Amino acid sequence: MTSGLVSRTRRVRSFALALALLASPALADGLIDNANGYTFDGKGQLVRFNGLLIDDQGKVARLLDRDDKRPEKLDFRLDAKGRTVVPGLIDAHGHVMALGEAALSLDLSGTNSLAEAQAALRAYAADRPTPPWIRGRGWNQERWGLGRFPTAADIDAITPGRPVVLDRVDGHALLANSAAMAAAGITAATKDPAGGRIERDAKGKPTGVFVDAAQDLIRKAVPPMLPRDRDAALAKAQEILLGFGITAIADMGTSGDDWLVMRRAGDAGRLRVRIISYAGGIPTLLAVAGTGPTPWLYDGRLRMIGVKLYDDGALGSRGAWLKAPYADAPGQTGLSFLDDTKLRNLMSRAAMDGFQTAVHAIGDAANAQLLDAIDELAATYKGDRRWRIEHAQIVDPADLPRFAKHGIVASMQPVHQTSDRLMAEARLGPARLGGAYAWKAMLDNKVPLAFGSDTPVESPNPFPALAAAVSRQDAAGQPPGGWQPQQIVSLAEAFRAFTATAAYAGFAEDRIGSLAPGHMADFLILDRDIFTAGIADLRAARPLETWIGGKRAWTAPHGGQTSSN
């Protein structure tokens, strides 16, 4: 009799537990209600929702339609008041520490002439008598209409005796003044390093511009940043990213010091944005991660998954490796950083321990070399490798279909196209632009397309990038009809590249990139419906709130916050 009662009691308890599990929405801790919600389903299709239930783990419990019953017991309920709610945006290619450091140093990215840059340097130096070295970035001789690289002579008189180092906007060249060159021991006898170029005058004297690997000749003399300054740079970078609605970012080229800064922030509970890290070389990869990708650390805020390699330079500094000479510099074809054997060896070393490789390739020759390497390595390293080609800016049209092989991910940056349009025409000539910034061709070939910014080369603001992707036009609406308009993609395709596919590119599609049940509740409340907005409104869109893991991480500073109770 007793055993029968116990058995029946157990059955009742089991049934009650099953009912509780079926009623899982009632366990949700929070509700974002009355939302104009958009996300992607498991098939990659854009779907709508009105309510977002968040569980006590900060994950999406359920998406609700307008007529679905709401739970009665909640820790919080936020009325979105009909505002647009979308998944948090993921920057598939950025440089986190460089973004923060740039924000805390001299910023020349908004200057439109050499004279403006000189005035900015003069004011910056006057306001900051210390430290002795001045650092800055963002100069662009193409935007200035200078017709040449700047030189040390252009800035020597502004800061006599005080070393100055200024990075070009793309990070592939720097300008050093005479004091900085003297500190680094640079003379006319200094040789160009492999993979780099020192710009020289007619007499062979260095002019002050150092391209790609030659930058290290100057950087070795620059005093390192103090730990507190690096911590401040990471904090600043996170604030910028959250303010633009970036909830996760692939950090391309994480150094050992960068990793320690991120770990310090994580240990102290100050790591807010999710960072998918790609080490800046094999030694750093092995020192940090060792025998395979790290686990997710700090509640899914940090993971090192692979390595970032460089196969060539950039178009602006004529370091991108081309199959034929530059149209505006007939004697140059750019810089090849790695021969075939070294490229394969480095990729193989990463792949043998299950690390993902992400390789910078801008010129058509670099892209072809990298595609050849993947063709060969894929025969040995089978399975889901997701070989990443970063930028893929100038591709021989004959090579475009090859991206569809071996699960290659095309990691591209829409705003590069609008920034580089005139320069690309000058560098290549009109006949060689058929595979330039070819987003639609990638999608037509069934290539996973992930979008990012390459911040701080470009602003991490994703909304101008979305506008560029769907128009191929800059902020002024130029050129009419779009540049190479056959490469325009739809807004849904562009948004997927900044969310679901950006997550897939970093092996994170099981947790971020959409608001599917079980994913982290990373989302934005926007100031407008971007899916019904015109191009200008899309470009101007801003988050009102940025949420990560079911918690508000950032709020617009001048109001706009929705009410909650």
Quick check: helix, strand or coil at residue 391?
A: strand
pLDDT, tens digit, 9 for 90 and up, residues 498-515: 999 999 999 999 999 999
Residue-level pLDDT at 3: 40
Alpha carbon distance 116, 434 (integer Å): 35
User: Which of 28, 31, 25 has the alpha carbon at shortest distance from 547?
Assistant: 31
Among 16-25, 304-313, 356-365, 456-465, the range scoring the smallest mean pLDDT is 16-25
The answer to whether residue 303 scores a pLDDT higher than 50 is yes
Q: What is the mean pLDDT of residues 311-315?
A: 94
Q: What is the mean pLDDT of residues 482-494?
A: 97
The answer to whether residue 131 scores a pLDDT higher than 50 is yes
Residue-level pLDDT at 418: 96
Alpha carbon distance 261, 223 (integer Å): 18
The answer to whether residue 81 scores a pLDDT higher than 60 is yes
Residue-level pLDDT at 42: 84
Q: Cα 8 from chain centroid?
A: 58
The answer to whether residue 15 scores a pLDDT higher than 80 is no
Residue-level pLDDT at 58: 97
- 450: tokens are 């992930």
- 395: tokens are 């591709």
Q: What is the mean pLDDT of residues 272-299?
A: 98
- 355: tokens are 């690390």
- 110: tokens are 């908004």
The answer to whether residue 25 scores a pLDDT higher than 90 is no
Alpha carbon distance 335, 357 (integer Å): 21
Q: Cα 134 from chain centroid?
A: 26
Average pLDDT, the chain: 93
- Residue 556 near residue 545, CB atoms below 8 Å: yes
Residue-level pLDDT at 260: 98
Alpha carbon distance 64, 28 (integer Å): 12
The answer to whether residue 85 scores a pLDDT higher than 70 is yes
The answer to whether residue 246 scores a pLDDT higher than 90 is yes
Alpha carbon distance 176, 164 (integer Å): 6
Alpha carbon distance 94, 39 (integer Å): 24
Residue-level pLDDT at 16: 37
pLDDT, tens digit, 9 for 90 and up, residues 335-355: 999 999 999 999 999 999 999
pLDDT, tens digit, 9 for 90 and up, residues 141-190: 989 999 999 999 999 999 999 999 999 988 889 999 999 999 999 999 99
pLDDT, tens digit, 9 for 90 and up, residues 391-414: 999 999 999 999 999 999 999 999
pLDDT, tens digit, 9 for 90 and up, residues 52-70: 999 999 999 999 999 999 9
Residue-level pLDDT at 2: 38
Residue-level pLDDT at 1: 37
pLDDT band at 28 (very low <50, low <70, confident <90, very high): low
Q: What is the mean pLDDT of residues 419-445?
A: 96
Give the pTM. 0.88
Q: What is the 3-state secondary structure (H, E, C) of 339-367?
A: CHHHHHHHHHHHHCCCCEEEEEECCHHHH
Q: What is the mean pLDDT of residues 523-529?
A: 98
Residue-level pLDDT at 559: 56
The answer to whether the Cα torsion of 467, 469, 470, 476 is positive or negative is positive
pLDDT, tens digit, 9 for 90 and up, residues 191-209: 999 989 999 999 999 999 9
- Residue 547 near residue 89, CB atoms below 8 Å: no
